[in-house]
């Protein structure tokens, strides 16, 4: 891995990038002085404090679409990506609110509003879908909440809902007849990405029947991309654009999730997807966003004109995982 681009990341003004570079690329221990300093700078940074405030507005307005980049669910998952923990100042109250809304089935609930046109009630309802509950679960697990029995119940539910072709469109009974715009027995690529991302935080499930079904579903979707879409999720030009945060079905999100499973990394289809990403690196291996969420304007990964240290770190981490150098 090029020393020059690593040094660029370490000199970045983004402490979240410096912190994850030290941890994920250089494999420094948590008690290393530079790691401690980078993490302290991360937690003290105005953008992180703002992000914590944003996450603390949970549950926010009722979700009407799951690619709403302004929703606090994605502030929460992005903080988890950066390395914020449950015991960090400002997080305890937020996570307590998430934990307080758990369905009897085990999933953590969001405030949702599904119109009657699509089989819902048209009213704000505490409920869950497989395109929001796993994101909450991922955040709780990544922040260190895996020891909570409520979190384990949610893990068990995600595993329970896998089918032979991955995770399909499923939701709480409270949402009535609602189902996404696809055939009942089709895999839902987005639900599968979210589910795998959550289960990647459970070491005992990294190589399990459930995760193998999900990984194969995503790799098959890539292989059969010309055959059409599942639940409107296709693989075209927009899918191939580098984009962050990890909100929707795009190549960096999918490959990052797949790369968490060692058995996926050796697959030729995974390698083909990864090559699409690495070919987008510019001078000296630096990566620039090809698409962005306006709600995240002001972050380097939401700037299509300048290379982003964070995006570059994510791509280098993929290559590091391929080399077996990081989990």
Which of the four pLDDT bands, split at 50, 70 and 90, describes residue 326? low
Mean pLDDT of 88-105: 95
What is the full DSSP assignment across 222-290? HHTGGG--BTTB--STGGGS---SS-SS-HHHHHHHHTTSHHHHT-HHHHHHHHHHHTT--GGG----S
With cut-offs at 50, 70 and 90, classify the pLDDT of residue 272: very high
Does the structure show a pLDDT above 60 at 156?
yes
Residues in the chain: 327
| Segment 217-250, tens digit of pLDDT | 999 999 987 777 775 778 899 999 999 999 999 9
Q: Mind listing the domains of the chain with CATH numbers?
A: 58-73+84-322 (1.50.10)
Assign 121 a pLDDT band (cuts: 50, 70, 90): confident
**Cβ within 8 Å of residue 246, ≥6 positions away:** 77, 78, 81, 197, 252, 253, 256
Whether the pLDDT of residue 319 is over 60: the answer is yes
* Highest mean pLDDT: which range of 151-160, 183-192, 223-232, 281-290: 151-160
- Contact between residue 109 and residue 132 where contact means Cβ atoms under 8 Å apart: no
pLDDT at 175 over 80: no
pTM of the predicted model as reported, rounded to 2 decimal places = 0.95
User: Can you tell me the distance from the alpha carbon of 84 to that of 15, in angstroms, rounded to the nearest whole number?
Assistant: 12
Q: What CA–CA distance (Å, rounded) separates 266 from 54? A: 38
Q: How far apart are the C-alpha atoms of 43 and 223, rounded to whole Å?
A: 41
Beta-strand pair 110-112/162-163: unpaired
Averaged pLDDT, 65-93: 94
CA distance between the termini of the chain: 16
pLDDT at 183: 75
> Six-digit token pair at 294?
């306006």
SS3 content of the chain, % helix, strand, coil (to 5): 50, 5, 40
Model confidence band, residue 187 (pLDDT cutoffs 50, 70, 90): confident
Q: CA 140 to CA 159: how far, in whole Å?
A: 16
Contact of 253 with 200, CB cutoff 8 Å: no
Strand partners, 188: none
Please give the average per-residue pLDDT across 201-223, as a whole number. 96
Confidence of residue 295 (pLDDT cuts 50, 70, 90): very high
Are 19 and 28 in contact by the 8 Å Cβ rule? The answer is: no
């Amino acid at each position: 891995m090029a020393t020059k681009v690593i040094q660029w990341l370490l000199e970045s003004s983004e402490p979240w990038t410096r912190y994850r570079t030290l941890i994920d690329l250089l494999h420094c221990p948590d008690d290393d002085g530079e790691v401690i300093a980078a993490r302290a700078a991360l937690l003290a940074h105005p953008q992180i404090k703002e992000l914590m405030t944003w996450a603390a507005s949970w549950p926010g307005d009722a979700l009407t679409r799951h690619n709403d980049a302004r929703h606090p669910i994605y502030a929460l998952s992005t903080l988890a990506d950066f390395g914020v923990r449950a015991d960090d100042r400002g997080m305890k109250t937020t996570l307590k609110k998430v934990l307080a809304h758990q369905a009897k089935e085990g999933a953590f609930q969001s405030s949702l509003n599904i119109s009657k046109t699509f089989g819902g009630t048209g009213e704000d309802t505490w409920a869950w879908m497989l395109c929001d509950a796993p994101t909450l679960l991922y955040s709780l697990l990544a922040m260190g909440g895996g020891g909570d029995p409520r979190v384990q119940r949610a893990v068990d539910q995600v595993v329970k809902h896998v089918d032979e072709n991955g995770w399909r469109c499923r939701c709480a009974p409270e949402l009535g007849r609602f189902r996404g715009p696809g055939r009942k027995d089709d895999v839902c690529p987005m639900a599968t990405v979210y589910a795998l991302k959550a289960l990647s935080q459970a070491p005992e499930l990294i190589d399990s029947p459930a995760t193998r079904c999900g990984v194969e579903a995503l790799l098959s979707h890539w292989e059969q991309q010309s055959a059409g879409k599942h639940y409107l999720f296709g693989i075209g030009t927009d899918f191939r654009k580098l984009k962050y945060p990890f909100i929707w079905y795009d190549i960096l999100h999918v490959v990052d999730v797949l790369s968490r499973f060692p058995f996926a990394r050796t697959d030729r289809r995974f390698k083909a997807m990864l090559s699409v990403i690495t070919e987008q690196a510019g001078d000296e291996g630096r990566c620039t966003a090809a698409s962005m969420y306006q709600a995240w304007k002001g972050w380097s990964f939401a700037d299509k004109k300048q290379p982003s240290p964070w995006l570059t770190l994510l791509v280098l981490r993929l290559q590091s995982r391929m080399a077996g150098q990081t989990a």
